[in-house]
Structures are given as C-alpha cells and as structure tokens.
Structure 1
Amino acid sequence: MSGTFGKGHHLHLIDGSAFIFRAFHALPPLVRKSDGVPIGAVAGFCNMVWKMIQDNKGDDAPTHAAVIFDKGSHTFRNDMYDLYKANRDAMPEDLRPQMPLTRVATEAFNIACKEKEGFEADDIIATLAVQARAAGGRCTIISSDKDLMQLVGGGVEMLDAMKNLRIDREGVFEKFGVYPERVVDVQALAGDSVDNVPGAPGIGIKTAALLINEYGDLESLLERAGEIKQPKRRETLINHAEQIRLSRRLVLLDEQTPLDFTLDDLEVREPDADVLLPFLAEMEFRTLSRRVAEVLGRDAPAIADTPAIADAPQVAEVAFDTASYERVGDAAALQRWIDRIYEFGYVAVDTETTGLDEMICELVGISLAVEAGQACYIPLIHKASRGDDLFGSDELAEGQMPVEQVLEMLRPMLEDPAILKIGQNMKYDLKVFAQLGITVGPIDDTMLMSYAMHAGLHNHGMDALCERYLGHTPIPIKPLLGAGKSAVTFDKVPLDEAVPYAAEDADITLRLWQVFKPQLHKVGVTQVYETLERPLVPVLAQMERSGIKVDRDTLSRMSNAFAQKMAALEDEIYGLAGRKFNVGSPKQLGEILFDEMALEGGKKGKTGAYATGADVLEDLATLHELPARILDWRQLSKLKSTYTDALQEHINKDTGRVHTCYSIAGASTGRLASTDPNLQNIPIRSEEGRRIREAFVAEQGKTLVALDYSQIELRILAHIADIPALKEAFARGDDIHAMTASEMFDVPMEDMTPDIRRRAKAINFGVIYGISGFGLARNLRIPRAEAQGFIDRYFERFPGIRTYMDDTKAFAKEHGYVQTLFGRKINTPNIGAKGPQAGFAARAAINAPIQGTAADVIRRAMIRMPAAIADLPARMLLQVHDELLFEVDEGHEAALINAAREVMENANDPVVKLAVKLTVDAGQGKNWAEAH
C-alpha cells in the first residue's frame, strides 16, 4: 500500500538509542578480528533490526518505518535546565566508535534513519506519532522508554521488543497509575534520577498518581496544595511548585519538532542485497550474513578468518577498595542502584544466607555490582550482637530495610528478561530467591564460564578464580564466622565487617564476567556454555527443589537387616581368619592377612601398618576367600552408614523429601556430581545396593518412572572409533555383550553361558575406561595373565578401538586437551607426565570424549525436558548418570514415557548425527527399585 500516509497505513518507529544501549550492555564485548574495532553493540543492534523485519509480517507489518536516533547530547532542555542529564556517565569508550556504525547499519537495511540537532529522539518520535494519528493511521513505537508512554492511545501503541510486550492505554495505567494524558503530571512530581529531573522531593510514582487522580491534573493540584492534610506533602508541593512545573516542561515531549521530511518519506523498502550483504561482511558478522543471505536468496559472502588482536578488558587494573562499597539502608539508595542496573542492562548478584542448605536457610543480605570497583550490600536481618555468649541478642541491627520491601523493589529487576543477572554458582542464588517466590532470569554464571574453558586445569570456586585471573586474594570468611563451638552464622556478623566481605563477592563476580565472557568465543566454547552449561542451571535448581520422597521406616528396617547380615559375615570372617578381631580395623586386618596368614603382597605404609585398601583386597580376593568377605562386609557397612542411617538425617522436615545438590562443574568430563546426599553412588550391582532404592517412593496417587539410556557409552564408542561389528550389532538389536563374547571367544550365540557373557561385559566397559590387565583381573577375580589375554584378544577382534586410543592420546599430547562430539574441551595437563601418573592421564584422556559425549547427551535431554513434559502432571526429580527419574500422576505414565523417551533418544540431534541410534529403557513403580 503506497500513496499519502493515512488510514490503513502502519508506522513503526524504532528507538535506535534504546536498541544500541540494550545491545551494548546485554552482550559480551566483541571486536572485529581484522582490526580490533569494537562491534558488540553493532552486532546486537543488527540482530534486533533483522528480527523486527522478520517478525512483523501479515496484518501487523509496517507500511512505513524509521529508526530514530539522538543527534547529540545538548538539546533545548539543557537550555531550560542546565543540570538536565548532568549526572549521566560518559559514554563507554568502546561504545563511542560504534554509534556511527549503527546509523550505517540502519541505512544498509534500507530503513529510514532520522535524527535532529537540538532535539531528542523522543521528540522526533512524538511528532511523527502525532502526525500518524492525525492522518488516521496506526503507529507502533518500538521501545520500553517510559517517557514515550505519554503518547499512547488513539492508534498509537508501544512494543517492548525484548519482552515482546505490547503497551496500550491499560498498560500505561498499570505502570503509572494514570492514563497517558496524565503521565507527564505524574513524572513531573516523581522526577527522574536517570535524567536528573528534580520533581517533588520525597514523592514517588505511587503517591504522585494518587494526587493526580484526586485533583485531576498537576496545575489543579499545585493551586490547591494548601488543602492537603499531610503537612510534609503540603509543604513540599508549595515550596517546590516552580521546580515541579519546570520538571513537567522537561518531561513533556515536543510534538511540533520541525522536521525536514514527511511520513511519506518513511515508506518501507525491501533490503538491497547488494548493499546489505557487503556491509555485514565488512563487519564480519558470519551468522547474520548467512541468515540474511538465505532469506534474500543469495550466497553468503566470504568472510576471512583473521587473528583476534584485542584482549579481555583489563578489569584487574581497577583497584579493589572495600572502603568504597556502599551499605544500602533505605529505599532511595536502593532505587538509585536499580536505576543504574537498568542503565547498564546487567548486574552481578550475590546472596548471603544463614547456611548452605537453600531449602531451609534464611536470606541475610544481597550484594549488587554493575562496574568494577563499585558494589553495594543490602543487609536484611543482621543482629545487633554476635550472639556468641549467653546474653546474645536477637534484636536486629539498625539501618536495615524490611525484607519484604527490598524483595518487592528488586523483584521486577530480578525477573526482568531484559536485565542479565550474573552470578558465581548462580544455581545457589536462584534457589534462595525461588524459596522467596522470585524467579530470577536470565542469568550468566562465571563458575560455568570457567568450567567451559578450563575443565581439568583447576577448580572453579570464586576465591581460586579471583586469585588466578584477577590477581587478588578475597576477604576470607572464616575470621568473620569464627570456628568450632563459637562459630556464628552470617546474620551475626557486624555490619561494618559484613559489607566489605559481601559487596566484594559481587565486585569479583562482575570482574570475572568481564574477563571470561569475551574469552568464551576466543577459546571456542561459546556453544558449549550457551547450550550445555547455562541452560542447565534453572533445570537443576527446579529438580533440587522438587526433591524425592524417602520412606524413613523402610530405611530403618534396612538398617537393622544390614546390621544382622554384617554380624553373620563377621562370624564367617572369624572362621576364615581363625580368630576374632575388629573387622573395621585396617591395622588388625593387615596383621591377619600378611603376618598370620602369610598372604603375598603386603606393603607397610609410613605408620608401620599394612595397606588394606580396596585395590589390595581385590587383588587378594583372586587368591583367598577372606579378602572377598571383607570387601562384602565393607560394602554393607558403607551402605548402612552412608545410606540407611545418614539418609534419614537428610529428610527435610517440611517436605518429607530428600533434596540432593548437583555439582555442574565437578567432573571435567561434564558428568554431574550429587552431594548432600550423594544419590549417584548407590551401588546397583549388589542386591543390597539395589534394595536401598526401595526407600525412594512416590507420593500418594503418583508413580515413579525411570528412563535409562541403554549402553550409551558403548554406542558412542562404536560411533567415535568406527567399529563396524559393534555398529551392526546395535542396528540389529543384538545382545552386545553376548556378541562381543561370541566374537572374542569363538563361542556361537546359542552356546553362550552367563559366565562368558559376564566376562565380555566387564571387558566392554573396562576398555571404555582404559582398564589395565590388573584392573580387569580385580573385576573378574581372575589371574592377571588371563585378564591381559582377554584384553589383547579384544584389540585383535576390534582393531578400530586401538586406533582410536592411540589417536586420542596423540591428540591430547599435541593440544593439551581432548574434545567431546559436542565441542566440550577437557584439558589434559598431565598427559606428558612420567611414571604411574602417565598411565592414569592416558586412560582419562581416552575415556573423556566417550564419557563426556554421553554426559553432553543427557544434559541436552534434561534442558529440553521441561518444555516436553510441560503439559503433563509430571516433574523430573533425579539424574543418575545415564538415568532420569520422574514422578507422575497415576494414569499418565505412558504419556510421560513417550514424551521423555522422544527427547532422550533424539537429544544428540541436530548437532551430532550418530551412526548408532540411542535407545532408552523405561520402567515404573511405587518405588525407585521397581521403576529401575
């Protein structure tokens, strides 16, 4: 539709400055590789513009459009009030050169690009919106700027593109408590700290709306100010009347801005591929170039790979000055921080609590940081005294805001999808806030950034990262809390000590983010972090909060049964040893085995006692019954102490459930670790171990459903090492262990015995873990020479596996790392070591791509799972390596199994195409043992 702008036409006005600043603060620093010019904001801006073009089709498509920019910093408002926007920080140095590039980008997209000296972009937008309304057309202002809300109504609406949220007259009322025509009156009273509009001291948005609604408009309010009953409010309005009137003139948009173009000049034009694609190539935007070229039916332009020349920002050069950290004790101070956070678009957040169990601890305070060296702490429930004596007081220290008020003020920001929340081990903070009804997002996690880049090199705790990458030793926690019986919780730490410690945590986290974020791309792990690490955080947080019900009575009965079985084993052990002794004493056991029974292999340690660890006993078990029985007794003892006894202590008294905690950055291969309690190490090979799972039960009216990958690591080995015999066997659905046994031992499948199959199974899994002849001998309790013969024969039958092992070791030695199929890097710093460590490092390097790929697959499944089962009365409770456990309402088991199996079996797609199909076994029952 063309011709003079009027009825049936739709004008889109994009607030260019808002797009640029949002892009600059929400995205990591990015430089053009060829010359080091910063382009992060330009990249974000171009992506947002292209998304607007692609998303606005059909009835909502614009017929006319323009991107409106601010021309300069001085406008007619500065002439009116010289302090207008005077408190604005200088433009960041790396954003300055990007501003003109965004204008070039707008023109490259063939969109009108408009600005005017002496006027703000908002004034141009106001003038065009009013013109469009007067002409009978529609206007959509693409911005979330509250100053533009005075224009809404009569065919003019706003669109917050980040939230995909349309703002009409009711939306404005929800924000301001008045309709658009009275917004400037409310703003005049409330003022604006960001733009330095003074307003009426002490009057906020809510009070301003109440006054305007009561008196009709601002002028009527000021004329009748003497009628107001509250003395303070009355005096403020009378004494600051002219300041309030000035504020109104400052916030009122100029709808008569003189323009040198008309609405008709803004008619939408299709992008010109010959202009747009060369610009995107010049900027080195590979992904966007490909997307645009595909839509425009062209080949993507070639972009040369050149080395990056810019390093991470030198945040370590900003001195740590804990004395400069702010203690926030009132709403005005907190609002200033919230305003700054919205100005930046991101914030580092850290919580202080009374303990490490997020399900029961109390929130003591919150730390925030938006710039290196500038941080604050908001104390909430610090006590007036330490409380480490008989007369300790529970009275709150002075100068703290009410918890409810702080959370109510922070909630919109913490939940705002346009503000990035940065944390170190963010899963903890997510759970703390979730307990208080706040769903935090989106997030970045410095611990996981380090893990994605440095897995296998060092741990990823904040103190270690701070010392290594920022050259700073953080304030230690132990001197603040004390030790032993006199230790206190953080709420008892005096405020003058708590503020530097807590605020520093947020400062460190922000600096680590500024160092790590640009490095992700350089190290080549952005995809790993963005698709495997960060999205898993909220999934795990929800699983941990869900927990799983544990039947205390079942555990008690098992504990008694284990005690009886241990007593019976002790009698048997005494018979084999020829006398009674303390079975739990390694020293006494060593004396019996090596002195009295004269078994070979006894080695004394520094204490003079013989070593009787599991590896020693497993070797001896091939020669004598006593070590085998000791191993059985030790397993029962561990099951009793670690599970049937200790699990009862972990049952949450409010939920009746056990809430384990998953460590994402624990194992270098990407495997999750479970702690407090560890639910991943429950033995499943022994009958007693399997019985532990009987205590994990479904709630009344629900069922537990377990889905378990079938031999996932062997399938991945068959793919990575390209073993035709294994791939064919998996494709046919053969019993893979029986097939291996048949191949190795020349035994026809129909003549297979359980013992031969068991040996083949041990070898199959042993090879994946780089097992030695010693290790296999222990597993099968057979002589080492026989075990080594099995391994040698295995490599003869499947030569591809030996090739894979040799190639992987060579790659690790050359590059210092190995990789999973999904790009996860697992560093191998000890691969060149000599002696016993060399063998261990080599086996770890061989196993890591297989185990790591399996871990990546189940991570991908877990990340996709919440959306896949959202419509079912089900929730995911546990992950145990290759298994996921769910709880579902009775009658919905089949639907859950179908949905979850679909996700799990296709979790590798579309990134990795496996030559062997993944398959998942499913089971269900009233307890975990039945389901498994």
Structure 2
Amino acid sequence: MERFGKGHHLHLIDGSGFIFRAYHALPPLTRKSDGLPIGAVAGFCNMVYKMVEDAKGADAPTHVAVVFDHSARTFRNALYPAYKAQRPEPPEDLRPQFPLIREATRAFNLACVELEGYEADDIIATYACQAAEAGGHVTIISSDKDLMQLVRPGIEMFDIMKNRRIGRDEVFEKFGVYPEHVIEVQALAGDSVDNIPGAPGIGIKTAAQLIADYGDLDTLLARASEVKQPKRRETLINFADQIRVSRDLVTLRCDTPVEEPLETLEVREPDPETLLGFLDRMEFRTLTARVAAKLGVAAPVAEAATAPGAGAAPRAEASQGPARPEFPPLDPARHEVIRDAAALEAWVARIADRDTVAIGVKMDGPDEMLADLVGISLATGPGERAYLPLGHMSGPADLLSGETRVPGQMPLDDALALLRPVLEDPAILKIGHDMKADTKILLRHGVAVAPIEDTMLLSYALFAGLHGHGLDLLAEKYLGHAVIPRKSLMGGRGPKTFGEVVIEAAAPFAAEEAEVAWRLRATLRPRLPFAKVTRVYETLERPLVPVLAEMEAHGIRVDRGQLSRLSGDFAQRMAGLEDEIHRLAGGRFNIGSPKQLGEVLFDQMSLPGGKRGKTGAYGTGADILEELAAQGHDLPARVLDWRQISKLKSTYTDSLQAAINPRTGRVHTSYLIAGANTGRLASTDPNLQNIPVRTEEGRRIREAFVAEKGQQLLSLDYSQIELRILAHIADIPALKEAFREGLDIHAMTASEMFGVPIEGMPSHIRRQAKAINFGVIYGISAFGLANNLRIPRDVAKKFIDTYFERFPGIREYMDATVAFAKANGHVETLFGRRIHTPEINAKGPHAGFAQRAAINAPIQGTAADIIRRAMIRVPAAIAGLPAKMLLTVHDELLFEVEAGAVEETAAAVRAVMEAATMPVLALDVPLVVEAGSGANWAAAH
C-alpha cells in the first residue's frame, strides 16, 4: 500500500449532502416486492455512478471516501445544548434508507466513513488537512458553505449538481472574505438553521466588513468599544462570549480521531457480484444493466416479486391507486398577466363555465392579519393560468401623490368585486394549497371563499408519516416538476417582500403555483378511496379549514400591562436568582454559559457526577442539574429556577407583547393542520399551547388573556380523554367500569396495582399510578419511569410489569398494534386516519422509537379526531348565541361569551363535545367535559 503524498488526489464526498439531494430530486419510489422506500437510495446510486464515470483524466481520484454523519448529537451539543436543536426530524420515508445508502457505498467498494460524536464535516476537514499536508490534492465534493473554510492551496470544492468548482474567489463571492476568515464571519453572523447564535442583528455582509476593518475576530472584540455604530458596538460588547462560543461551534476539527488512514482510501474496483447483487435486490433494473455492461458481466435475472405475507410487508395502500393523469409538461413561460377589468371579466367568465378553479393569494408578509394583498393567481387547467397583480410597489412614495404602486394594476376593490361571485359560488370548487391562509386574508376583505379543496390536506390524509406536505415537495414527487424557487425572487440583496418583486418576475412564479395546485388535486384526489381515507379528508380535514380561519381571525385579547408587569417581575426574580447563584458559587460567572457553569459546579465546587464531553466541557443539561438538585445541592436547583423564569420571560411575557396586532389589539395565533402525523393541531406565531398548566407562573401568564368588557372566557376541556380511549381500544374492563362509575382513575389504578384502599390513599402512591397511566400511553420504559418518579430502575420495571399483569388487555393492544403496523406499514385511529410507520421494521435503536410511536398514534390520533369533530360542529351549535370560539389547546376549547350567555353556551358546546364520536362510533366509556368561566383564562381553566 503506497504512502499518500505528492501526486495523489483525494475525493471527499459529503455523503449526507448526497442523501438529501437524492431524496428531494426524485418522486417517491418503493420496492415493488415489499413497499420499502428506496427513492433516495436510487438517487444516491445514480449520483455515485455518474461521479465515478465523470472522474477521468487529470481529475481522476487516486483515493476516495464517502463521509456520513453518525448521529444528530456531537461534541458541539455538549458545548452548546441548543446546537441544531430546532432541526426537524428526517422524513419518515427517508429514515429506513440511511443504512441502505451506506450499504450502497460499500457495494461500490468506496470507503464509508463516519465517527460517533463528530459531524461528517469534521471528518472531511481532518482528511483534507492530512492530505494537503502530505503534499496531495483534495477535492471536497459538496456545496455546503460550512466546508468553505477549508479551501486553500491543495484543497478545493466541487458542486456536482452545478458542475462548478469552488475556490478562493468563489468563497469570497459567498462570504465577502477569503477562506481564512470564513470562521470569523460565521461566528458573527450565526446560523439560524443550525441554531448558532452569533451576534444579534449582524449578518454576513456586516460581519465581513467588520473583519475587513479590524483584521480578525479577537482584535474586533478587544476593540469593540471603538466601533462607531452604537447598536453594533453594544452588541459586540454584550454578546462577546456568545460570539466566541459561536466561533467554537463553526470551527471544523482537523484532529478528528479517524480510524482509517489516508492510504486505506485507495480507489478500488467494485466486486461485480457484490455491486450487482445489491442493485438487483433494490430492483434498480436500468442501473443494474448499465453497471453490468460497464463491468463486462451478465446482469442478474430478475426474480418474481415477493408476495405480501411471504415475509415482507405489503406496500402502503396510499402508494397504490389510479395511474397518474397524463398532462402536457408545465411551461413556466405560459401565463397571462391580468391588468384591467376587461381581462379579468374574461377570466371570470371562463371560471363560471368550469366547476373548478385553482387560486393562490400573494401577500407582502407572513401574517395574514397584517399583510396587504399583493396579487391573486388563477388556473383552470393545464396551461391555463394567470396572475392578477394588485399591490406591487415600486419604492419610496411620491412626495406629492404618495403613490408607490406599480402602474398597470387594477384597484383592489374593483378586482375583488369582479371575483367575489365566482369565489363565493357554491357550484365552483376553489382549489389551493394551505387554503386556510388564503381564505383568512380574503375574509379580511369581505370575501368568504367556499367551497374549497386543499392539496396540502389531500397529501396529509394520504401520506401522514411518509413525508412533508409542501407544494414544492409534492410537485416534485407526484408531478415530476420542480417549481420556480421562491429564493430566486426574494432574499439576499433583492426584494424582501413579494410586493417588491417586479410583476414580470412575480407572474410566472405565482401562476405556476396555481396550476401546480390544480394538477396536484387531479393527481391526489382520486387516490383517497384507494387508501380508504376519503371520510378522513371529507369529515376531519376539509371542514376544519373555515373553522380555524375564523378562530384565528377573531384572536384573543391580552392585557399588555399585565404582561409588562410580569416581564418586570420575572426580570427581578432572575436578578435575585443570579445574585443567589453567584453567592453560592463564591463569585460571578455567566449563568447562561454551559462551559462556565460546568466549571463552577464540578471544578470549583467539586459536585459529583461531572462528565466532560469530547471538547473538554462538562455536561450541564437539565437532567444533570435535576439529579444534583435532588441530592440537595442548592446551586443547580437555583440554576434550574433561573432557566425556567428566563424561558417564560422570553417565550411568553416579552414575545406576547410583540405579538399584539396593532389593528385589532388582540393576539392571533395560527394553527398547523398538517403539522403532527397524528392529527393534533399545533399553535404557532405565537405558540399558545405550551404555557405551563400547573405552575404559578403559568397561571399568571394565563391571567393576561382576558375577555372584552361585558364578556367572559369560557373553557371546556375533555377529562382524561386519552385514557378513556385506551380503555375502549384495549378493552380493559376495570378501567371502563371506573370511568362509567366516575371514579378517580389514578386512585383506582393504584388500588388495583398495589392493593392499597382508595380511601386514605397516600398521595405519592396515587402519583406513581398516574405516572404509569399516562406513561403507558406513550410507551414509557422502565428507565423513563425511573427518571420521572426518582426511583430505582428495577423498581420502575416491577411497577410496569405489575401494571400489565393487572391490565393484560394493554399488552395485547400493544402487541396487536405493532403487528398490524409491520404487516400494513401504517396504523389507524378509530375514525380511519392513517399514520404511516415506515420505520416499523427497522433494526437497532430506531426500532423501539418506531414501535412506541405506532402504539401511541391510534390513541393520540383518535383524541385529535374527536376534538376536530367537535370543533367542526360547534359553530352550528352556538349560532345565534353571543359567543365566539377563540382557541384550542390540545383537549380544550376556549370561547369568548357575553356574560349572560355563559351557561347556555357551555351547555350547547358540552353536548357537542360529549357526543362528538357519534354516529360513527359509540365508545364503551363516557366522554366527560369539564367547564369553567371567568374574566381571564386562568379563572376559566
């Protein structure tokens, strides 16, 4: 084996980047024999084959490695726990493809490298530095900006998708500095995707200028007081430690303890039997034939597909169904711009002659309650689309006229007057993607759009758990079409809002979205009966859109003064806690710095349990602090208190003040209908669902949500709905009887398990039973229960074993549910909602997670379906009453009601909620709804 050195060329392939590019580049693909998702594997194999074929002549590598991320957590999480914390989980249908892609790499006889605790970028950095120092040449095959800090003589990057080399000049074009200063610019600018904090308010351009002015980051921070701009100066001084932490986070390690020496990465010819065997098992017939011809051997003979039930899971039914409609290719240049009444009247006449029209509303901001309407796109079929610009602006207002609108646009009121008849016509179906947003802004302008069809919800009903439901993703997967990227119109130095985009660029983008929605509806709608989810879509998804739109538009009043006082109180409490923490520590330090906190706890105070991560910093996560606090140590207990108050202040009392709509004086949350796979609604912008329920601080925050004068807030909440559903699904006589008798279910469980009389039962015994009751729903382990109850793991295991002995139906339900998921690739709620479980047959650590999710999904999903059914029926039940539905928080509905109509409204809503399962389903246990009212949410809850 020749030593690596001069004359050698190392290709380092960003395997993780290849995976996601491959996944998003192809429509969903499953193996015919068993329904296994293989789209990303197919894309990856084709990319690798092309790369090997194209690497000829002087660019041909002598050494190659494909580098992958081992797991989500690395040494950077010990340095900064929030690092990449908000990164979404990989798509459900991608997860089972990760091990297959590694197998594909080895089948091509390429080195497959990953290392626990380190990111792929660190491994790439280490090999690149080693190779360059040895006199060799390195090409990093990736477009990842984080790798650009490595570019130097002997090391370059290559973007295989754009066929573009990335050297020093290209790095300067991206960052405004050369590679040796990229780390410093990234440290200042931060990265919202990876949750790197940086310096608030400083972006790439400003960071590059600061580094250019002061030479390097350390000099800049040392001389921050000299910076002329006051805000920038204060940021650099106040956030210096945060900037230094950010620098540590973005700096790639060149000393990663890689196990394979450079010499072992030599290019090797693949073994024909191994490679062709893998490709054949994946059923990649075309690629198998190409590779066989290249290797000069015969391609394997395809075997008959394995029949369902013969050891392989059948395909999910949602992937079966009618053939995709045949449409002509979508031509981005084919659209009309509607600039006057005559043109719009012609389109209105065309729509009136059809039974469907796809629409899309463009706004100048993300908030439908504040944004101005910029334009409306229309499509009536393939190649029949138009854009109606209404609010595109051209820059600063004219000093005399105040006019900023681009000429050639209809007045908004005139356009809506012409469109209203068709948008409100019950005989014309209005198609769109995420119609709740469109209907809400049009409702503000007096147009009640109905009836609607929502392609996002069609996808959600069909494919929940398999992939996301964004328009661009669905267009690629089901139409084979890549939409015009939004970032090509906006971002960077270009327009910041859609209203600033020139009409000539906005029109093809907006019109294309409408036609894509039209085509998606024609493609996805016929699949509903094949997947047996027509009832789900028609009764749980589509009817909820106008209900949520009206709730969101109404909003809820908050008392700004109360929030301001709470923010002040929390700030004082934090200051008091800081003083106490510093006193206990014997000196001042940055409480928000995990590194400094760890040094105080484990070096200075010598507390037990200190464990250093790979960076040398101690772990100071909540679990570690809670363990120390449980042992009686005051300082970690106070730090936990400080963190809790800090989170409440920033997340609620401060941010809620900023969320008050200046036009309405109310807070308008937005609900994600297709957010959770189980059907649970998620509140966002602002999130009102995670305010602590049982703490004093949470109660005080809820006190700030108030009714208008002469009104009351009315809360109605399902009592223990998930336990009731479990009793029904698992057919547990003792639990069903307890619910019918109205007994204390947790006390009854404790009595059954531990033989303790209900009368006079110690509170800690009931608490243990409660933890087990709710824990079982989520598939809690002995380890998890031990942590929750602060008891030894063997004791927790005994509790769980006893629970299953007393209630054997629960174990039978769990086993049956997992078996069903493995056989069918999905689980179902009692109302037919399907939650796909693509990882249910996975091996290793993912297996337990997938099984717990499958067990919980029918229970949580059924609860979500029940409250959806109730919400859809409530408007009719309270019609004529002076009441408005404002919020839903998990199992609770909140109303604003005239003071004299509270009891009547409560009775009407309770009747709907308690009968929400009927006539489809009669539960074996009663649904019980608890009601309360008051001047504020805390009093009503």
Within a 5 Å distance, the mapping from 1:531-546 to structure 2 comes to 531-546=539-554
What residue in structure 1 maps to residue 786 of structure 2? 777
Q: 2:495, 2:501 within 8 Å by CA — same for their partners in 1? A: no
Q: 2:318, 2:527 within 8 Å by CA — same for their partners in 1? A: no
What residue in structure 2 maps to residue 15 of structure 1? none
Q: 1:313, 1:514 within 8 Å by CA — same for their partners in 2? A: no
Within a 5 Å distance, the mapping from 1:414-563 to structure 2 comes to 414-483=423-492, 487-563=495-571
What residue in structure 1 maps to residue 573 of structure 2? 565
Q: Which amino acid aligns with 1:546?
A: H
- SS at structure 2 position matched to 1:756: helix
What CA distance in whole angstroms lies between the structure 2 residues aligned with 1:867 and 1:498?
Answer: 40
- SS at structure 2 position matched to 1:891: helix
Sort the Cα spacing of 1:836 and 1:691 in 2 relative to 1 into closer, same or farther, 3 A. farther
Sort the Cα spacing of 1:854 and 1:362 in 2 relative to 1 into closer, same or farther, 3 A. same
Give yes or no for the alignment of 1:788 onto 2:824: no
Q: CA deviation at 1:594?
A: 4.3
Q: Which amino acid aligns with 2:376?
A: I
Sort the Cα spacing of 1:462 and 1:445 in 2 relative to 1 into closer, same or farther, 3 A. same
What residue in structure 2 maps to residue 833 of structure 1? 842
What residue in structure 1 maps to residue 191 of structure 2? none
What residue in structure 2 maps to residue 702 of structure 1? 711
Sort the Cα spacing of 1:574 and 1:735 in 2 relative to 1 into closer, same or farther, 3 A. farther
**Which deviations, in whole Å up to 9, do the C-alpha atoms of 1:93-151 show, x marking residues without a partner?**
xxxxxxxxxxxxxxxxxxxxxxxxxxxxxxxxxxxxxxxxxxxxxxxxxxxxxxxxxxx
Sort the Cα spacing of 1:876 and 1:530 in 2 relative to 1 into closer, same or farther, 3 A. same
What residue in structure 2 maps to residue 582 of structure 1? 590
Q: 2:777, 2:856 within 8 Å by CA — same for their partners in 1? A: yes
Q: Which amino acid aligns with 2:421?
A: P
Q: 1:920 aligns with which of 929, 935, 938?
A: 929
Sort the Cα spacing of 1:817 and 1:765 in 2 relative to 1 into closer, same or farther, 3 A. same
What CA distance in whole angstroms lies between the structure 2 residues aligned with 1:342 and 1:881?
Answer: 41
- SS at structure 2 position matched to 1:855: helix
Q: 2:377 aligns with which of 343, 348, 367?
A: 367
Q: 1:867 aligns with which of 876, 881, 886?
A: 876
What residue in structure 2 maps to residue 641 of structure 1? 650
- SS at structure 2 position matched to 1:651: coil
What CA distance in whole angstroms lies between the structure 2 residues aligned with 1:897 and 1:670?
Answer: 25
What residue in structure 1 maps to residue 885 of structure 2? 876
What CA distance in whole angstroms lies between the structure 2 residues aligned with 1:676 and 1:362?
Answer: 18
What CA distance in whole angstroms lies between the structure 2 residues aligned with 1:802 and 1:545?
Answer: 45
Q: Which amino acid aligns with 1:380?
A: L
What CA distance in whole angstroms lies between the structure 1 residues aligned with 2:672 and 2:319?
Answer: 35
Within a 5 Å distance, the mapping from 1:621-640 to structure 2 comes to 621-625=629-633, 626-640=635-649
Q: CA deviation at 1:313?
A: 6.0
Sort the Cα spacing of 1:511 and 1:431 in 2 relative to 1 into closer, same or farther, 3 A. same
Give yes or no for the alignment of 1:613 onto 2:613: no
Q: Which amino acid aligns with 2:639?
A: I
Q: 2:357 aligns with which of 334, 344, 347?
A: 347
What CA distance in whole angstroms lies between the structure 2 residues aligned with 1:656 and 1:468?
Answer: 42
- SS at structure 1 position matched to 2:374: strand
State the Cα RMSD in Å: 2.4
What is the identity percentage for the equivalent residue pairs of Structure 1 and Structure 2?
64
Q: CA deviation at 1:489?
A: 1.5
What residue in structure 1 maps to residue 347 of structure 2? 337
Q: 1:388, 1:488 within 8 Å by CA — same for their partners in 2? A: no
**Which deviations, in whole Å up to 9, do the C-alpha atoms of 1:635-693 show, x marking residues without a partner?**
21111100011100001112111000000000000000000000001111222112210
Q: CA deviation at 1:352?
A: 0.7
Q: CA deviation at 1:473?
A: 1.4
What CA distance in whole angstroms lies between the structure 2 residues aligned with 1:606 and 1:479?
Answer: 41
Sort the Cα spacing of 1:319 and 1:392 in 2 relative to 1 into closer, same or farther, 3 A. farther
Single out whichever of 784-793 and 717-726 deviates more from structure 2.
784-793
- SS at structure 2 position matched to 1:707: strand
Sort the Cα spacing of 1:371 and 1:606 in 2 relative to 1 into closer, same or farther, 3 A. farther
What CA distance in whole angstroms lies between the structure 1 residues aligned with 2:674 and 2:624?
Answer: 31
Within a 5 Å distance, the mapping from 1:21-420 to structure 2 comes to 312=322, 314-315=324-325, 317-383=327-393, 385=394, 395-420=404-429
Q: 2:465, 2:837 within 8 Å by CA — same for their partners in 1? A: yes
Q: CA deviation at 1:629?
A: 3.6
Sort the Cα spacing of 1:312 and 1:604 in 2 relative to 1 into closer, same or farther, 3 A. farther
**Which deviations, in whole Å up to 9, do the C-alpha atoms of 1:372-392 show, x marking residues without a partner?**
232100111223x36699999
Q: CA deviation at 1:336?
A: 2.0
- SS at structure 1 position matched to 2:516: helix
What residue in structure 2 maps to residue 747 of structure 1? 756
**Which deviations, in whole Å up to 9, do the C-alpha atoms of 1:831-860 show, x marking residues without a partner?**
222332222221111111100000000000
Sort the Cα spacing of 1:510 and 1:624 in 2 relative to 1 into closer, same or farther, 3 A. farther
Sort the Cα spacing of 1:390 and 1:700 in 2 relative to 1 into closer, same or farther, 3 A. closer
Sort the Cα spacing of 1:369 and 1:871 in 2 relative to 1 into closer, same or farther, 3 A. same
What CA distance in whole angstroms lies between the structure 1 residues aligned with 2:547 and 2:447?
Answer: 15
Give yes or no for the alignment of 1:718 onto 2:735: no
Q: 1:619, 1:777 within 8 Å by CA — same for their partners in 2? A: no
Q: Which amino acid aligns with 1:372?
A: P
Single out whichever of 820-829 and 581-590 deviates more from structure 2.
581-590
- SS at structure 1 position matched to 2:547: helix
**Which deviations, in whole Å up to 9, do the C-alpha atoms of 1:770-814 show, x marking residues without a partner?**
112222233223333333332222222211111111111111122
Sort the Cα spacing of 1:842 and 1:595 in 2 relative to 1 into closer, same or farther, 3 A. farther
- SS at structure 2 position matched to 1:818: strand
- SS at structure 2 position matched to 1:808: helix
Structure of higher RCO (CA pairs closer than 8 Å, 6+ residues apart): 2
Q: 2:629, 2:637 within 8 Å by CA — same for their partners in 1? A: yes
Q: Which amino acid aligns with 1:337?
A: W
Give yes or no for the alignment of 1:685 onto 2:694: yes
- SS at structure 2 position matched to 1:481: coil
Q: Which amino acid aligns with 1:713?
A: E
Q: CA deviation at 1:816?
A: 1.2
Sort the Cα spacing of 1:629 and 1:499 in 2 relative to 1 into closer, same or farther, 3 A. same
Q: CA deviation at 1:506?
A: 0.1
Q: 1:621, 1:781 within 8 Å by CA — same for their partners in 2? A: no
Sort the Cα spacing of 1:437 and 1:391 in 2 relative to 1 into closer, same or farther, 3 A. closer
What CA distance in whole angstroms lies between the structure 2 residues aligned with 1:401 and 1:487?
Answer: 22
Sort the Cα spacing of 1:868 and 1:594 in 2 relative to 1 into closer, same or farther, 3 A. same
What CA distance in whole angstroms lies between the structure 1 residues aligned with 2:458 and 2:445?
Answer: 27
What residue in structure 1 maps to residue 900 of structure 2? 891
What CA distance in whole angstroms lies between the structure 2 residues aligned with 1:776 and 1:596?
Answer: 33
Q: 1:622, 1:782 within 8 Å by CA — same for their partners in 2? A: no
| Count of matched residue positions in the alignment of Structure 1 and Structure 2 | 624
What CA distance in whole angstroms lies between the structure 1 residues aligned with 2:753 and 2:320?
Answer: 56
What residue in structure 2 maps to residue 293 of structure 1? none
- SS at structure 2 position matched to 1:750: coil
Q: Which amino acid aligns with 1:889?
A: E
**Which deviations, in whole Å up to 9, do the C-alpha atoms of 1:406-430 show, x marking residues without a partner?**
1011000000000000010000000
What residue in structure 2 maps to residue 276 of structure 1? none
Which runs of 5 or more residues in structure 2 are unaligned? 1-316
